[in-house]
Amino acid sequence: MSDRKNIVTADEFRLVDEKGKLRGVFGLREGGAPFMGFYGKDGKRRAIFALREDGSPGVGLYDGRGRERAKLALEDHGVPSARLTDAKGSTRVELSLDDSGDPALIMYDKDGAKLLQVVITGDQRAALSFFSKDGKLKAHMA
C-alpha cells in the first residue's frame, strides 16, 4: 500500500457522458458555498445538493422540465423544512419544525393562498386552522 496521495484541486468539476453531455457538477457558488448538481440525459437539472453561505444545507429535486418541485432544507440553527410545489412553481405543501421541535403542516391553493394549517403546540396539543382565499381565519379547532 502506497503512502502517496493523489489530490486534484479545482473550483469546479464537471461530469459528462460518452457524448460529452453534462451530467453532473461539483463546484462553488458565488460567495464560495459548495454545491453538487445532477442533470438528466436531456441536459435538464434534476437534483441539487448545496450549502448556503451561512452553511445550512438544502436539497432540490426537479421535474423533467427542470423546475424545482421538492425542496428539503435545514436552517443554520437546525430547523428542518420540506416544500412541495406544483408544475407552475406555486408552493402547495410545507412541512416544518419550529425551534422547539413542534411540527407544522401548511397547505396552499394553486394561487398560493394558505387554506389549511395543522400544528402541534408547545403543550403537545393539536390545532387545525382553515383559511379563506383572502387569508382570513374561517375556523380553528384546538
As to burial, measured by CB atoms within 10 angstroms (0-12 exposed, 13-18 middle, 19+ buried), residue 67 is middle
pLDDT at 64: 92
- Reading the block at residue 90, the C-alpha cell is 406555486
pLDDT at 123: 83
Contacts of 130 (CB under 8 A, 6+ apart): 115, 116, 137, 138, 139, 140
User: pLDDT of 39-70, one tens digit each?
Assistant: 999 989 999 999 988 889 999 999 999 899 99
Mean pLDDT value across the chain: 92
User: pLDDT of 3-47, one tens digit each?
Assistant: 678 888 888 999 999 999 999 999 999 888 999 999 999 989 999
HSE-CB at 61 with a 13 A cutoff on CA atoms is 10
Quick check: pTM over 0.85?
no
* DSSP state string for 39-89: E-TTS-EEEEEEE-TTS-EEEEEE-TTS-EEEEEEE-TTS-EEEEEE-TTS
pLDDT at 1: 55
How many whole angstroms separate alpha carbon 101 and alpha carbon 117? 16
- Are β-strands 91-97 and 103-108 bridged in parallel, bridged antiparallel, or unpaired? antiparallel
Cβ atoms of 110 and 97 within 8 Å: the answer is no
